[in-house]
Amino acid sequence: MTTAPAPDTLAEILRALLLAALLLVAVFAVKHLAPEHLSPDVARRILAVLPGVPAVYYANVVPKYLSPIGGAGCDAAAEQGRRRFVGWTLMLGSLGYVAASAFAPWSIANGLAGGLLGAAVLVVLTRLAFDLRGRRHA
């Protein structure tokens, strides 16, 4: 696996602004469609799912945009495994957030969605802490 070259800063800022604009347009559209064309439950679920979309995107993209593997004198195989673990864990947590927001009973949807994404973040932080601890003792 090779890492993508470092993205141009301006292009990355424009991409982030475009994503933010799309989210704002989606919220505006749902707000104005809700009373006549969307049921309140569907509108509420769409608005609950929207924050998970960038989380899914960035969970997939960010590990690929990090500095090239092996540049800092570290074990390239271990670093690649760490990046894959972080990417997959955050992707699954983000997809769980989206699925819970979309399909879980509304009374538990918010707590379940936040819990799934929060658990993924906690697993990643725990793994990184153990990896860092292992490097210091090695």
Q: What is the pLDDT of residue 6?
A: 54
- Regarding pTM above 0.85, the answer is no
Q: What is the pLDDT of residues 15-63, one digit of tens each?
A: 889 988 998 998 899 888 877 888 888 888 999 999 998 899 888 887 7
List own/partner pairs for 19-28 with CB under 8 A and 24 or more apart. 19/54, 19/57, 23/50, 23/53, 23/54, 26/50
